[in-house]
Amino acid sequence: GRNAETEWSENLDGFSTFKSHAPPANKDAVSMMWHWLDVPILLSLIGICSAMVSLATKMVMNYDHTFKQYLLSLVSVEYEWPLYCLYSVCMALIACFLSQLICKESVGSGLADMKTILGGVVKPVLLSRRLIVAKALGLWLSLMAGLSVGKEGPFVHISGAVADQLMKLAPFVHIRRQDSKRLEILACACASGVSATFGNAFGGVLFSIEFTSSAYMVRSLPKAFLTSVVAMIAFLFFGVSDELSLFKGENVSSFTLPQTNELAVFFLIGVGGGLLGIFFVFLVELITTARNNFLDKRKHSKNMVAFRRYALVGTVTLLVSSAMYAEMSHIQHSGQGSFVMLKYL
């Protein structure tokens, strides 16, 4: 039979068929008040949920750091490296296994999936509950393995899926039935996901504008800002905003205007950065092509593809964890720091 969850639906018409939510037929005070407050309340809940995902990630990594220190304290120095690598490889393999078991569509950053959804093409499984679980577990275990997978994509995707699940609740289901309204809320959820990643509300709003596929409705700006600000307030409430912010605006030193020779150096740095960016994109394309060929289902059996996937994850994690342990050991033994540097988040 047909599985609606895994099929693509092309019924959403983006932002072109916007119809404002009509006031309720009954004019009682409660219904009228809910008519004006339903969207702000929904956006606030999305912001809080996004903040909770970020806070949960921070807590998991703190516990993981403590456990790693305890684990390494149980063995002598010569066994620390194999134990650290074994732990990292196990976490990566478990992340790969759970992602494939719970929701295969949860692999990857999720940014491309959300961009497609905001374009009006929705695959229900990409906004499902099991995707949220698989995405969160995969992210946490990958970070515990020491892999620099990045949190922005998963947070944005999780926030979008959480927003869609909240819109399934009875008080908000009327919003979900309106395609354009639903996509507006999902765009705001993307903003809260970025705010949860970088600890910056304005960055989330700007990202939601950039991320929209074709057009951005100006009326969505305050909604996206509200969602992002609520996420930041949640951070302040739990007292972890400083830990989550990538950049802090305190103690900004004064500076003078650059001289001509300095501008020339800045120009060369910009050109060099651009060339390195081109090389990086080219390198990523080569690696991605090689990976896709290595895991091509048309050339290999299902079991062989699964074996190759786990072998690839294990090999990459082993190399990364070995390099990380060597760097941490060098920092510790050189007297520049301690093993607390393992708190890489």
263 Cα distance to chain centroid = 36
153 phi and psi, to 5 degrees?
-60, -55
Token pair for 107: 């692999």
DSSP reduced 3-state for 110: coil
Helices within 29-79 (DSSP H only): 29-73
- Which residues face 122 on adjacent strands? 9
Cβ count near 200 (within 10 Å): 20
Q: 25 near 194, Cβ under 8 Å?
A: no
Q: What is the CATH number of domain 4-18+34-245?
A: 1.10.3080.10
Cβ count near 293 (within 10 Å): 9
Q: What's the confidence (pLDDT) of residue 6?
A: 46
| CA pair distance 49, 162, nearest whole angstrom | 7
Amino acid sitting at position 311:
A
| Residue position matching structure tokens 């478990």 | 94
Q: What's the confidence (pLDDT) of residue 119?
A: 82
Q: What's the confidence (pLDDT) of residue 344?
A: 41
Q: What's the confidence (pLDDT) of residue 13?
A: 42
Residues 99-124 as b/e (b if ≥16 CB within 10 A, e otherwise) read: bbebbebbeebbbebbeebbebebbe
Q: What's the confidence (pLDDT) of residue 17?
A: 34
Q: What's the confidence (pLDDT) of residue 69?
A: 87
Q: 186 near 163, Cβ under 8 Å?
A: yes
39: Cβ contacts below 8 Å, ≥ 6 apart: 21, 175, 185, 223
The dihedral over CA atoms of 204, 56, 142, 205, expressed in degrees to the nearest 10, equals 0
Q: What's the confidence (pLDDT) of residue 317?
A: 92
Q: Is 125 exposed, middle or buried (0-12, 13-18, 19+ CB in 10 A)?
A: buried
Apex 70 CA angle, 65 and 74, nearest 5: 145
Binned average pLDDT, 10 residues per bin, the chain of 345 residues: 46 40 61 78 91 90 90 87 92 94 89 86 89 94 89 90 92 85 87 79 75 66 83 75 52 63 88 96 93 88 90 92 83 57 43
| CA pair distance 192, 32, nearest whole angstrom | 27
Q: Is 90 exposed, middle or buried (0-12, 13-18, 19+ CB in 10 A)?
A: middle
143: Cβ contacts below 8 Å, ≥ 6 apart: 57, 60, 61, 64, 149, 151, 345
Token pair for 140: 């946490």
Token pair for 207: 């990202």
Per DSSP, the residues of 119-163 read TT-B-GGGGSHHHHHHHHHHHHHHHHTT----SHHHHHHHHHHHH
Domain ranges of the chain: 4-18+34-245
19 Cα distance to chain centroid = 31
pTM confidence score: 0.79
